Amino acid sequence: MISLPIEIQLRILKYLYYNELISVKQTNYYFYNLISKYEGELARRKFYELLLRSKNQLAYSKKIIDLRSTNFEFNLTDQLKEKWQASINKSTRLFVHSSKKLFICMNKSGFKNI
């Protein structure tokens, strides 16, 4: 893949998910630099809307992904810590006062399937 033009390499990398990009990035220095340079263009999914739904409203959903929290082992550099802090400072906080469990749904098209 290294012998291909950069435009072709980027087109190939756009089909990878974020965790796959991280794996490729760790393979060698060339891919690390390439993915770091163009990471704003990679691993982005288009969607129509984000919705908050209760468990009852998800009964007819086609696909439910169960996300579990995990501890990740990695070296925290000052630069990475700075980036994360900037992201946290810019983030929008969401507060929900409800006794029900709510789920975040991503709708990829304008049709409401959920």
Tens-digit pLDDT profile for residues 46-90? 667 777 777 777 766 666 666 666 676 777 788 888 888 888 888
59 and 8 share one domain: no
5 confidence band (pLDDT: 50, 70, 90): confident
The yes-or-no verdict on residue 112 having pLDDT over 60 is: no
Question: Is the domain of 38 the same as that of 55?
Answer: no
- Using DSSP's 3-state secondary structure scheme, residue 102 falls into strand
9 and 31 together in one domain: yes
- Look at residues 70, 66, 47 and name the one whose alpha carbon lies nearest to residue 55: 66
Domain housing 79? 46-114
Contact residues for 14 (Cβ-Cβ < 8 A; gap 6+): 41, 42, 43
Its pTM surpasses 0.75: no
Compute φ and ψ for 103, nearest 5 degrees.
-125, 145
CA 53 to chain centroid: 20
Residue 21 has pLDDT above 70, yes or no: yes
CATH of the domain at 23: 1.20.1280
72 in the same domain as 56: yes
Count of domains for the chain = 2
Opening angle at CA 86, ends 103 and 18, nearest 5:
55
Does 31 share its domain with 9?
Answer: yes
Residue 101 sits in the same domain as residue 76: yes
